[in-house]
């Protein structure tokens, strides 16, 4: 049974969309993508600009699907969220690999949800408490931000929104 999702707004991480395409490709599961598009259009889901940039670099099916939806799907972060992201980076330095060649939207996803009381949706699992590099769910726990995450994130997300496919 879906819980009341009237006031819930979802903040989508790049890996949530990329994994969704892997397990529910658009050509085989068009209804999944139609329902996601409706959530985006209705303002009940979004992604931060930094997530869009990560996806844009891939130039894959997710990017091709998302590009014409950018105007209503992508949220530009507020100054407050940018400052919060800086604080998250300072306080949780292992969140981002400083030696990586690609940038990470993770602190921006978390910061935006902290500032806007949205629910993070990510494929990431929580890292063990002794891990050198925390994952998004570890940091959302610290900031008391709800996070739909892990291996079964899509199932939980579908159920919560009352999506069924027959």
Q: Is residue 42 part of a domain?
A: yes
Entry pTM: 0.91
Report residues of the chain scoring pLDDT below 50.
1-2, 101
Q: Is residue 142 part of a domain?
A: yes
Q: Is residue 96 part of a domain?
A: yes
Instruction: Give the span between the Cα atoms of 15 and 57, in whole angstroms.
Output: 13
Instruction: Give the span between the Cα atoms of 28 and 23, in whole angstroms.
Output: 10
Q: Is residue 30 part of a domain?
A: yes
Instruction: Give the span between the Cα atoms of 62 and 59, in whole angstroms.
Output: 8
Range of the domain at 152: 10-160
Q: Is residue 111 part of a domain?
A: yes
Number of domains in the chain: 1
Q: Is residue 46 part of a domain?
A: yes
Residue 29 β-bridge partners: none
Q: Is residue 121 part of a domain?
A: yes
Tokens of 148: 């739909």
| pLDDT tens digits for range 68-98 | 999 999 999 999 999 999 999 888 877 876 6
Coil vs helix vs strand at 87: helix
Q: Is residue 2 part of a domain?
A: no
Phi, psi of 26 (to 5 degrees): -55, -35
Q: What is the CATH number of the domain that holds 41?
A: 3.40.50.1010
- The helix (H) or strand (E) run that includes residue 109 is helix 106-116
């Amino acid at each position: 049974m879906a819980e009341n999702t009237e006031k819930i707004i979802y903040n989508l991480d790049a890996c949530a969309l990329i994994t969704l395409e892997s397990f529910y490709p658009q050509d085989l599961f068009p209804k999944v993508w139609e329902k996601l598009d409706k959530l985006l259009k209705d303002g009940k889901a979004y992604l931060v600009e930094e997530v869009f940039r990560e996806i844009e670099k891939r130039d894959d099916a997710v990017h091709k699907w998302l590009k014409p939806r950018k105007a209503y799907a992508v949220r530009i972060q507020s100054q407050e969220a940018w400052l919060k992201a800086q604080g998250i980076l300072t306080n949780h330095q292992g969140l981002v690999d400083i030696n990586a060649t690609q940038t990470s939207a993770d602190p921006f996803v978390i910061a935006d949800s902290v500032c806007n009381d949205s629910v993070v949706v990510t494929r990431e699992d929580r890292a063990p408490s002794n891990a050198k590099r925390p994952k998004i769910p570890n940091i959302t726990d610290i900031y008391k931000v709800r996070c739909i995450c892990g291996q079964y994130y899509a199932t939980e997300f579908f159920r919560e929104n009352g999506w069924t496919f027959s």
